[in-house]
């Protein structure tokens, strides 16, 4: 008998636990001919901001050992064009896949404003709050680094938005479990772990950083152990709190076993990110391998695997 | 043509000049429909040891409408991995991607200017131009730093393509830069030629400086920038363009290009 891959969380069902991560699948249309996302658990859009953004000067990406550094600068079409042109196409093609819109602001007010506007759109299943972007009013420190700011952003959104909210947290903090706890207390319905890690690559020939903005966010297989550890820690904390809050595992997932690591650490859903660039059908392969594992191991429901690595 | 991702077996890897290789692989489905300037993303298997992201390469040649050839030079680990490929090794190929050059129907002369490893799309373009019903006069200008890097393409070019070579060390052809080849050829044009280029940004910027928009039928440059997806998703490969009001706007090398109007690109240091 085929395993049950449907995941029930956030007050809805996901046809399977595999989503594609923000910024690695655009608005769904670019890869659609060769990788219809309708097969997946869901699509997480490229981060949407209030105004359209051109992004940072190039080079914006460079490969590093088992990973990639990027500094795109949240280039996107802006909220208006997203709602008018991109969202209708996504909704028309999503079929059973869930539509999660990732967004950011450059101030607490902007976060609340963008989230509130998205919350009024029909068809969106959930919002993912990108707390990894710089807070311009607070010296460009990213929002996710400060518990008080996380509380303010998530709390502000919670008061204005009915849709399920997933707080996407950066691993570049002293205690990610404490920040996850703060986000949940402020009203987050889920936590997405992890965003990229800050990094740099220097071209020794030109004696300068390769990336135009010097620093970039590290993603890909190189960060998977960091992501798995964060999920493990946060899962433990949420258990201690008695909070039934799903974790969405992200970071270096490119195979079924990568996804299983996150699930066993405590993630109920996973997102495939950078691997989409390596192979446009990567998320589909992850899903097939997960199904294959369950069948081979006699797992009747994939949710039975969530958090198994914690059992003594 | 809708781009497709395929795993194919390498049919050949041959070193054709110093650190410079031709990679051949069969891809009958897309081979027939390829346009000069278009490119593909070449990737290793999904879980490689040291190469991770795919890399973009312009199409170089199509052999017998069946086999695609990529010309590349070893620079970093991905190209070193590609140089190590032997027949039977599997690679991922995602393409065809990107746009193509504009054929200017009224230009009686086409001047193609290649610098170093910028050669491939211009060879494919020269072949296409030569195959037109009423082909223009075609000059292919090709320069390298050193003679040992010159790829011997003379014998394989279609009849009627005039090849002009230069090297900075003077070992092959004129001793100097492609701009030194370019000046006299442009000066002798009776009517506005079509100018196409691919090579280092400094070279393409120099050509832009030598031309006035009303002196050419078209001036198009094939550009390059680091990219991860090739399909407008990763938003990495921006090329700065000067707009009519003088402001600079980014366009994407992969989906808006890689071929752009050479007068509109904001070249570095220009």
Q: What is the ipTM of this complex?
A: 0.90
Q: What is the mean pLDDT of residues A146-170?
A: 96
Q: What is the mean pLDDT of residues A61-65?
A: 95
* pLDDT computed for residue A185 by the predictor: 98
For residue B270, pLDDT over 60 is answered with: no
- The two structure tokens encoding residue A230: 């964060």
Distances A77 to A85, A251, B31 between C-alpha atoms, Å: 10, 25, 34
Q: What is the pLDDT of residues B56-96, one digit of tens each?
A: 999 999 998 899 999 999 998 899 999 999 999 999 999 99
Whether A133 is a known active-site residue: answer yes
Q: Which of A63, A65, A72 sits opposite B235 (nearest CB)?
A: A72
- Percent of chain B at pLDDT exceeding 90: 87
For residue B18, pLDDT over 80 is answered with: yes
For residue B109, pLDDT over 60 is answered with: yes
Instruction: Answer whether B227 sits within 8 Å of A24, measured CB to CB.
Output: no
For residue A312, pLDDT over 90 is answered with: no
Instruction: Answer whether A63 sits within 8 Å of B92, measured CB to CB.
Output: no
Q: What is the pLDDT of residues A126-142, one digit of tens each?
A: 999 999 876 666 666 78
More confident residue, A144 or A200: A200
For chain A, say whether B93 makes contact (Cβ under 8 Å): no
* pLDDT computed for residue A1 by the predictor: 59
Domains B4-97 and B109-223 agree in fold: no
Mean pLDDT of chain B: 94
| pLDDT confidence tier of residue A184, bands split at 50, 70 and 90 | very high
Q: Find, in chain B, the residue whose alpha carbon is nearest to that of A64.
A: B52
For domain A7-54+74-195+220-310, which architecture applies?
Answer: Alpha-Beta Barrel (3.20)
Instruction: Answer whether B52 sits within 8 Å of A58, measured CB to CB.
Output: no
For residue B47, pLDDT over 70 is answered with: no
Instruction: Supply the Cα-derived Rg of chain B in whole angstroms.
Output: 18
* pLDDT computed for residue B105 by the predictor: 86
For residue A211, pLDDT over 70 is answered with: yes
Q: Which CATH code is given to the segment(s) B4-97?
A: 2.40.30.10
Q: Measured between beta carbons, which residues in chain A are less than 8 angstroms from residue B225?
A: 58-59
Indicate the domain borders of chain A: 7-54+74-195+220-310
Which listed residue (A9, A66, A121, A133) is catalytic? A133
pTM here is 0.93
Instruction: Answer whether A54 sits within 8 Å of B249, measured CB to CB.
Output: yes
Q: What is the pLDDT of residues B187-216, one digit of tens each?
A: 999 899 999 999 999 999 999 999 999 999
Decide if domain B109-223 falls under CATH 2.60.120.10.
no
* Distance from C-alpha of A211 to C-alpha of B121, rounded to nearest angstrom: 27
Indicate the domain borders of chain B: 4-97, 109-223
């Amino acid at each position: 008998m085929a395993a049950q891959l449907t995941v029930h969380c956030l007050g809805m069902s996901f046809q399977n636990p595999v989503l594609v991560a923000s910024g690695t699948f655009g608005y769904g249309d670019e890869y659609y001919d060769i990788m219809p996302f309708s097969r997946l658990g869901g699509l997480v859009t490229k981060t949407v901001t209030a105004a359209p953004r051109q992004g940072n000067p190039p080079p914006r990406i460079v490969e590093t050992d088992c990973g990639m550094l990027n500094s795109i600068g949240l280039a996107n079409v802006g909220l208006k064009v997203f709602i008018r042109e991109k969202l209708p196409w996504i909704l028309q093609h999503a079929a059973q896949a869930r539509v999660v819109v990732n967004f950011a602001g450059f101030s607490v007010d902007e976060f609340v404003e963008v989230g509130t506007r998205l919350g009024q759109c029909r068809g969106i299943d959930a919002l993912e709050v990108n707390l990894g972007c710089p807070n311009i009013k607070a010296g460009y420190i990213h929002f996710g680094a400060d518990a008080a700011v996380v509380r303010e952003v998530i709390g502000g959104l919670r008061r204005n938005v009915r849709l399920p909210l997933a707080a996407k947290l950066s691993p570049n903090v002293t205690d990610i479990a404490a920040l996850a706890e703060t986000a949940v207390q402020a009203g987050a319905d889920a936590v997405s772990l992890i965003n990229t890690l800050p990094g740099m690559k220097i071209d020794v020939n030109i004696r300068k950083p390769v990336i135009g903005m010097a620093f970039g966010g590290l993603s890909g297989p190189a960060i998977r152990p960091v992501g798995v550890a964060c999920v493990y820690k946060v899962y433990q904390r949420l258990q201690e709190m008695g909070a039934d809050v799903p974790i969405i595992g992200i970071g270096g997932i490119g195979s079924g076993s990568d996804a299983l690591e996150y699930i066993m650490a405590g993630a109920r859903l996973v997102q495939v990110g950078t691997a989409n660039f390596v192979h446009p059908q990567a998320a589909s392969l992850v899903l097939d391998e997960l199904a294959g594992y369950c069948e081979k191991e006699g797992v009747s429901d994939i949710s039975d695997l969530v958090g198994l690595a914690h059992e003594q | 043509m809708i781009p497709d991702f395929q795993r194919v077996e390498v049919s050949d890897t041959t070193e054709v000049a110093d650190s410079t290789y031709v990679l051949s692989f069969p891809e009958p489905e897309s081979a027939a429909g390829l346009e000069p300037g278009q490119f593909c993303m070449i990737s290793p298997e999904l879980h490689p040891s040291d190469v991770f992201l795919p890399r973009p390469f312009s199409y170089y040649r199509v052999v017998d409408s069946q086999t695609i050839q990529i010309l590349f030079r070893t620079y970093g680990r991905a190209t070193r991995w590609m140089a190590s490929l032997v027949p039977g090794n599997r690679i991922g190929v995602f393409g065809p991607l990107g746009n193509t050059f504009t054929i200017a129907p009224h230009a009686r002369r086409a001047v193609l200017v290649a610098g170093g490893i910028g050669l491939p799309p211009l060879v494919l373009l020269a072949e296409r131009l030569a195959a037109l019903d009423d082909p223009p006069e075609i000059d292919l200008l090709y320069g390298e730093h050193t003679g040992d890097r010159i790829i011997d393409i003379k014998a394989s070019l279609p009849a009627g393509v005039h090849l002009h070579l230069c090297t900075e060390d003077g070992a092959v052809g004129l001793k100097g830069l492609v701009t030194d080849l370019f000046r006299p050829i442009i000066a002798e044009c009776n009517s506005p030629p079509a100018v196409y280029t691919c090579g280092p940004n400094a070279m393409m910027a120099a050509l832009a400086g030598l031309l006035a928009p009303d002196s050419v039928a078209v001036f198009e440059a094939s550009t390059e920038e680091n990219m991860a997806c090739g399909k407008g998703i990763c938003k990495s490969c921006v090329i700065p363009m000067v707009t009519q009001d003088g402001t600079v706007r980014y366009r994407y090398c992969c989906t808006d290009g890689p071929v752009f109007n050479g007068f509109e690109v904001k070249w570095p240091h220009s």
